[in-house]
Amino acid sequence: MEVIEKYKWLIVAGVAVIVLGGLLVINSNQANDADSDDQTTMTEQEKKAEKAKETKEKEEAAKKEKAEKAATGERTYTAQSGDSYAVLARKAVQGYAKDAEVSVSRAQIVAAETFLTTDAGSPLLEVGQQVTFDKGTVAKAVSDAQSLTSAELAAWQTYVPYVIFDTSKNG
């Protein structure tokens, strides 16, 4: 008993050191678990970002394929009373834009139809005459119209109020 009394403080200090050491080890393991959770979260975020990137690439590829398909072949219209080559060209431009799912402003439509009409020599049409547009040529006219500067688009915008864009009854 004398030995225990003599070394009582030493035994208490030893037990305290062991308890504190145990607490430090437990706390260290919890911190490591939190770090691994952060790493897991980062990995999940990276996976989400990668998946979003892949989805975007697939959408762009599908859009490009659709535009290429829309630019292949021909589109033929039959002139009706009141139709002009420009009106049928407008219808072809609008049809291409819809099929290719490309966005074109009204000023760009006017520009593209004018490019097509000018390239064809602005022919006069007879009622019943068939007019065929190469979809690739229409796609090029739309692309050229989309490449116009803001100043050029502003110039084309001047004509927009005088154009009837509903071509559902034409061709």
Task: Let me know whether 77 and 139 are in one domain.
Answer: yes
- Is residue 46 in a domain? yes
> How far, in Å, CA of 79 to CA of 99, rounded?
22
* Closest alpha carbon to 89 in 65, 66, 112: 112
- Report the range out of 27-36, 64-73, 160-169 with the highest average pLDDT: 160-169
Q: 91 and 57 in one domain?
A: no
Please give the Cα distance from 104 to 158 (Å, whole number). 16
Q: Please name the residues in contact with 124: beta carbons below 8 A apart, sequence gap of 6 or more.
A: 84, 85
* Domain-located, residue 171: no
Same domain, 142 and 114: yes
Q: Are residues 92 and 146 in the same domain?
A: yes
Adjacent-strand bridge partners of 78: 130
For residue 163, pLDDT beyond 70: yes
Q: Is residue 169 part of a domain?
A: no
Q: What is the CA radius of gyration of the chain?
A: 37
| Total domains in the fold of the chain | 2
Q: Are the beta carbons of 125 and 131 closer than 8 angstroms?
A: yes
Whether residue 168 lies inside any domain: the answer is no
- Whether residue 54 sits in one domain with residue 27: yes
On whether both 131 and 59 belong to a single domain, the answer is no
Same domain, residue pair 85 and 64:
no
- pLDDT single digits (tens) 39-57: 556 677 877 878 878 888 7
Q: Tell me, what's the pLDDT at 35?
A: 53
Query: In terms of residue numbers, what domain contains 66?
Result: 1-70
